Every structure is written in C-alpha cells, then in structure tokens.
Structure 1
Amino acid sequence: MKESTKFEWSKVSLITVAHFFHDIYTAFLAPLLPLLRDTMGFSLTFAGFLSVVQRLPTLLNPFVGMLAERTKARYFVIFTPAVTAVAMSLITVAPNKLTLILLVLISGISSSFFHVPSPVMMRKVSGNRVGMGMSFYMVGGELARSAGPVAALGAVELWGLNGVTYFIPTGILASLLLYFRLRNISIAEDVSSSHRLDYLKTFKSFFPLISSIALILFFRAAMKSALTFYLPIFLKSRGESLWYAGIALSILQGAGVLGTFFAGTISDKIGRRSTLLIASIGAPTLFFAFLYTTGWLQILALIASGLFLFATGPVFLAIVNEYKTKHSSFVNAVFMTTTFLIGAIMVMVVGLMGDYLTLETTYIVVGAFAFLSVPVVLRMSKK
C-alpha cells in the first residue's frame, strides 16, 4: 500500500475522536484516588502501584506490534474503548483491593491494544505532515485527560460512587460508532515474507534512537507523574478541596491539549530537536513557578507548565513514526513500551518518595531532576 502525501482531515479527525473516547476512561484513576484511599485506606505507595499495574501490560507491546502487522489491527482501535470503559467505570464499586487491581489491569491490557496500532494508523493518513498528525492524535488523548477528571468527579457529586458506572454505555456506543467509521482504514504494513522475521535486526538499528528518547523520558517522567497522577493528592495535602484538585488537574490537561496541538506542527517547521529543547527547559522551570506561587499566579503557572510538559509527546511520536522501517507497528510498540515502563517506574518512585520525604520535598527533587534531560536533547541529531 503506497501512502498518500495528502493530509486526510476526515480520517485524522476520526482517529483523534477514537483516542479521546478511549483515554477519557483511563483518566478516571488519578482524580478518584483520594476517594478510593478514603474508602479502602491505602498508602501513596499502593496508589503508585495501581499506576504500575495499569502500565504493566505494556511489556507485551512488542508482541502486540507483531500481531498488528499480521491482523486487522484496526479492530483493536475500534473495540478497546468499550473494554476500557467497562473496567474503569467499575473501579469505584470494587469491593476490595484485589478487584480494584484486576479492573485496572484489564484497562491496561485494553490500552496496550489501542495505543500500539493507532499512531501507525494516524501516520498513514497524515501524508507528509506527520508532526501535525501526531499533534491531533495527542490532542485527542489530552482532551480526554482534561475531561476525564471533571466527568468522574461530576458523576460522584451527582450520584455517589456508583455514578461512575453510568459512563459504561457511552464507551460501548463509542465503539459502535468507531466500527462504522474506522473499519475500512488499514493499519498493516505491506511486509514481504522475507521481512517478517527480522524484528531483532530492526530493534538493533532502532536502539540508538530509542535509547536517547528513553533517557529524556527518564529524566522528565518523575516530574510528569508528580504533576499529573499525584496532583489531586498533593493539592489536597495543602488543604485544597477535592473539587479544586480535580479542576486543577483538568486545567493542567487542558493546557496540555494546546501544548500537544502546537508542538508537533512547530516541530515540522523548526525541527524536532529544537522543539524538544524548548520543552525540556520550559517544563521544569514553570514547574517550580507552580510550586512557589499561590492563587491565580499558581493557576497561570500550572497552565504554562502544561503547555511545555506535554509538548514532547507528538514530537517523539513523529520521530518514531518517521523512522524508516518495514515494521512500523513493531517500532511504535517498542517506543510505547519504553514510554509506559519508564512512566510506571517513576510514578512508583514518586509514591515511595512521597511516603518517606513528603510530597512537598519530592516535588522539589523531581523538578530539579528534569533539567538533566537538556544535555541529552543537545546530543541528538538536529534533523
């Protein structure tokens, strides 16, 4: 299949909508953590463990990528929103910790099957504007993470903990809609039989690039976990209300929408490395501004932080999906595995640090640590 150089707006929009429908449910976990901690009585370490459980299935991503090259992987994109919706909408009524872990794990498996093939699908319909296409893709996810906290907390406010389950039909209907609109978009590469078994060779050639990306992710991931996953708990520990904490998370994610929307397109114009450098300097600087301000200044700092914090996402996706290979789904899967595993480890580390050092001290440490990503970016190719 020869890929068009045309930017296909209708298909780009549909894939963006699919990303939104899926990720709005995974965004329920962070804002509901304070309520779940109150009802089940678990520590920050266990809260971090839940995030690890949700990301654990990413270990299977390379195999999902191989599978995506041999099957009609568009159906992964179509039906996973329904699976994730059911699992995440039931977490507030989980009778015990084991059930909660199981539900979060199911959502993680579903998420892997969505996130491996969907960027490849987006690349195929973005023509020669891959950065812009990945910006739209990431906007779908960030809009979901912005709307998710408000939706989840709104349901609890109106109907109690059981209210979150009312979102299940929406997820199922979303998958039905996607079935009728996305079922004809192909994802699988035109891979000849002689290229089907050279995954190890592909990984070896991809390793220098993914190792640089992994280092940048490593230095930034703790700060990102602190400012997203733990933000409601952090603000509540400072005496803010649950609603304020949830709205603050939505504001951050909303700013992230703008950051992801513009970053990919900007990187098409000024280069991937230049965009990464700006984001790597700007994010931790504004993170400290958030820590040491209050009131409206703090909200403004949070918005500015979101712009830079999420800007790297579409740039990394563009870099990975522009990599010349017959195994795009596999390469994308390796990237996704790297991203999610580093994120899972660091969210656990932040939880442990928060238990032993307090979240206030932890935030200072992770903000300083994020500046170490700058030298790594400077060593990357200018292309």
Structure 2
Amino acid sequence: MNMEQKASPTMYSVLFAVSLAHLINDALQAVIPASYPILRDSLGLSYTQIGIITFILYFSSSVMQPFVGMYADAKPSPRILPIGMAIALLGMVGIALAPGYALTLLAVALMGLASAMFHPEGARIAYLAAGPRRGLAQSIFQVGGNSGSALAPLMTALIFFPFGQKGAMWFTLIAAVGIALQWRVARWYGEQLARNPRKKPQAAAPQKDTARRVKMAILIIILIAFARSWFGSSISTYFSFYLIEHFHMTVPQAQVYIFLYMGAGIIGTFFGGALSDKIGRKNVILLSVLGAAPFAILLPHAGEIMIYPLLFILGLINHSSFSVTIVYVQELVPGKVGMVSGLITGLSFGLGAIGAVALGGLIDMTSLTQVITACSFMPLLGAIGLLLPSDKVVRSWRNRAEIGG
C-alpha cells in the first residue's frame, strides 16, 4: 500500500475542484450569520432567538460530522456530496421564504446537516488525491472553506441590505453550481473506490500501549484545537468591540482589522500544510501554537497602528496548523479518515461557537478588556503539543496498520 501511495501523483484538478466545493459549502453556511440583521427586522427576532439559530447551525453542522464520518468510513458514499448540496439548496429556499421563526430554524438545521455531510467526505477526497503531499492537499481543501467563510461581510453588504430576506434566493444559483461540481467530484471518488476496493482489516488489534498513546495524542490535538478556537473566537467575535471601545473606531474601521486577520488566516492555512510536508506535522503544530503566543500577549497592549501587523502575523501563524492537525490525526488513525476529519473539523467549529457564547458571558460578568487580555494567553496552552508523538513514530504506527489492513 505504501508503494502505491508513493507512485500516485498529486491530483491537483481534483483538489482544486473539492476546494471550490468547500468554498461554496462554507459560503452558503456563512449566509446565515450574514442574514442576522435582516432576519431580526423581518421576523422580529430577539437576540436570544438569534443565539438559538447559531446553536442550531453549529450543533447540526459540527456535532454531526464525526457520525457522518464514521458511517462513511464503514460505507464510503460518493453520492452523499451532491445530495448534501441539494439539501443546502432546500435550506437556502427556506431561509428566503420562511414566514416565521420555526421554519427558519428548520431551514438552518438543513444547512447545518448539509455541511456535516460534506466535510468528512470532502476531507477524505483531499486525502485520496494528495499523493505524497498530504499537508499541501489538505491546505488546498481548507483554504476553500476559509475563503467561503470570509465572504459573510460582503454578503451582508451586497445581497441582504439591498434585497432583504428574499435575497437569500440568489444563493440557490450558487448551490446549483455546487451540485454540478460535487457530482463531478463524486464520479472521480467513485472511480477511486472501484479501482481500490476496501479490504477488511486482518491484522491483530494494536498493542494496548500503542492504542493508549494514540488516544492520548488525539486528546492533545483536541486541547490544541480548543485553545486555537477560543483564541480565534476572541478575535473574530469580540476584538472589533475592543477596538471601538479603546480607539473610538467606527464599525467599518474595526471590521478592516478583522478582515486582515481572516485574510492572513487563509494564507497561513495554505502555507502551513505545504510546510508540514517539508518539516513535519508536529513541528508546524508547535510553531503555530507557540509561535503565536508572544504576538497574542502583546496584542492587548499595542497601539492602534501596531495592531495591524500583530493581527496579520497572528492570523498567519494561528491558522497555519488548522489543516495540519487534520492530516496529523488522519495519519494517526489511517483506517478512519472520515471520522477523525469530522471530529477535528467539527470540534474546531463547535468549540469556536461555544467559545463565542462563553466569552460573551464572561465579558458581561467582568469586562471586555479583561477577557481579551486573558484570551491572549490561550496559545500558551499549545505547549502540551510537545507531548505529541513525533512524525517518525506516527509513520511507524501507520505503516504497521496499513501493512496489516
């Protein structure tokens, strides 16, 4: 199996196609928070009701991902990709036409389910198309999603303000393109499954010590994802309020800073994966979490001008490990690519959502400055990454599993 992997080329056409599908999927999901100001006015929603919409979206999209991945590991399903996008299209119609709150929640749940159906299988396709460059492949895939999520402010300005709630109907055209694109990707995926039918594992179960170390490594990755997501939430959700409060900026001025952070994150996601193919997954993970720490700690004490380079550097470094943690766990548990991809991706979104709610409560109880300052120390939690098994050890475990499987 290893010889076949080495001989397989990196399928860039497939990677760019699934990355574009990821962009469309996450852009459609970003429609929901982008529509909050309009939905609040058209349906007369309270902030609590908006919070419930957010919970439904992230619960359905994040919590479901590992279970979808487990199902796909047992029974790979190429058709799940276009079916998921068709469900997203129905959800978008629901958001545009919902006359009340209950139907809006149902539409949001459909959007979240569609996202949960896409991510594990999308990550698996990136894994299959990677050839020897798994880090780069996962980065190309994840950059599509990051770019789609970053479109939310533009959606609000260009679509919802001019057209109102029914403006969401315009996104059904994007969903239709997504269905056609994912149908083509699914055909390639099906061909790969036909050429390389899955074999039932015949090897003995891994030794207890190895199994224990694998579980510990996954737990460490989850804790790193927790620290990264909560710090990211403090920036993307609340730092604009900090800028407005401390420097008396307007909302558009503050949003420029956040866009800078998110834009740098897209760059960091791409280059982090490529770098991990050269210097190793663990090294990039440590560089990301610990390298971000000094800049994060400086951020609450910086002046208005210095915040620009600090946010750019933080976006670059903090996001550089996003795709790498996924590849690390995929290689740690090679027989369950879908499940672990859904677990890490879902946790990143889910923990970020929980972090946004929890940090908001802490700000209400304390102050914005105190919470932003406390969150600046979150990257230091990444020091537990020093306990991760080396890439060489992970490769030896993977090779043993693949020879047996």
- Interval of TM-score (by shorter of Structure 1 and Structure 2): 0.7 to 0.9
Match of 2:18 in 1: 15
1:191 to 180, 198, 203: 198
SS of corresponding position for 1:183: helix
Which deviates further from its counterpart, 15-24 or 85-94? 85-94
CA distance in 1, matches of 2:197, 2:162: 50
Is residue 61 from structure 1 mapped to residue 65 from structure 2 by the alignment?
yes
Match of 1:270 in 2: 279
Amino acid of the residue matched to residue 18 of structure 1? A
SS of corresponding position for 2:64: helix
Change (3 A) 1:84 1:287: farther
CA distance in 2, matches of 1:365, 1:259: 24
Match of 1:75 in 2: 79
Q: Is the 8 A contact 2:90 2:110 kept in 1?
A: no
Q: Deviations over 1:78-124 (max 9, x none)?
A: 34344335535765775554444333322221111111111111011
- Structure 1 segment 136-175 matched on structure 2, within 5 A: 136-175=140-179
CA distance in 2, matches of 1:99, 1:235: 36
When Rg is computed on C-alpha atoms for both structures, the one with the higher figure is 2
CA distance in 1, matches of 2:303, 2:139: 31
CA distance in 2, matches of 1:50, 1:230: 19
Q: Deviations over 1:277-302 (max 9, x none)?
A: 22113334434554444555433332
CA distance in 2, matches of 1:7, 1:237: 49
SS of corresponding position for 1:322: helix
Is residue 315 from structure 1 mapped to residue 324 from structure 2 by the alignment?
yes
Is residue 126 from structure 1 mapped to residue 130 from structure 2 by the alignment?
yes
Is residue 177 from structure 1 mapped to residue 181 from structure 2 by the alignment?
yes
Is residue 371 from structure 1 mapped to residue 368 from structure 2 by the alignment?
no
Change (3 A) 1:152 1:76: farther
Q: Is the 8 A contact 2:82 2:183 kept in 1?
A: yes
TM superposition shift of 1:125? 0.7
Unaligned stretches of 5+ residues in structure 2: 392-405
Q: After TM superposition, what 4+ stretches of structure 1 lie above 6 angstroms from structure 2? A: 201-205
Change (3 A) 1:151 1:288: farther
RMSD over equivalenced CA pairs, Å: 3.4
Q: Is the 8 A contact 1:78 1:175 kept in 2?
A: yes
Is residue 207 from structure 1 mapped to residue 215 from structure 2 by the alignment?
yes
Q: Deviations over 1:163-189 (max 9, x none)?
A: 343222122222123323542224768
TM superposition shift of 1:128? 1.0
Q: Deviations over 1:223-261 (max 9, x none)?
A: 111222445666666755454455544332221110001
Percent of aligned pairs with the same residue?
23
TM superposition shift of 1:155? 1.3
- Aligned residues, how many? 379
Change (3 A) 1:282 1:117: same
Match of 1:252 in 2: 261
Q: Is the 8 A contact 1:59 1:337 kept in 2?
A: yes
Which deviates further from its counterpart, 169-178 or 135-144? 169-178
Q: Deviations over 1:302-328 (max 9, x none)?
A: 222211221111111110222353332
Amino acid of the residue matched to residue 15 of structure 1? V
Q: Is the 8 A contact 1:276 1:315 kept in 2?
A: yes
Q: Is the 8 A contact 2:300 2:376 kept in 1?
A: no
TM superposition shift of 1:344? 3.6
CA distance in 1, matches of 2:378, 2:300: 15
CA distance in 1, matches of 2:354, 2:151: 26
2:362 to 353, 363, 368: 353
CA distance in 2, matches of 1:191, 1:290: 50
Match of 1:261 in 2: 270
Q: Is the 8 A contact 1:25 1:89 kept in 2?
A: no
CA distance in 1, matches of 2:307, 2:363: 21
Amino acid of the residue matched to residue 217 of structure 1? A
CA distance in 1, matches of 2:250, 2:95: 22
Which deviates further from its counterpart, 131-140 or 336-345? 336-345
TM superposition shift of 1:213? 0.3
CA distance in 2, matches of 1:287, 1:91: 38
Q: Is the 8 A contact 2:19 2:144 kept in 1?
A: yes
- TM-score, structure 1 as length reference: 0.84
Q: Is the 8 A contact 2:38 2:160 kept in 1?
A: no
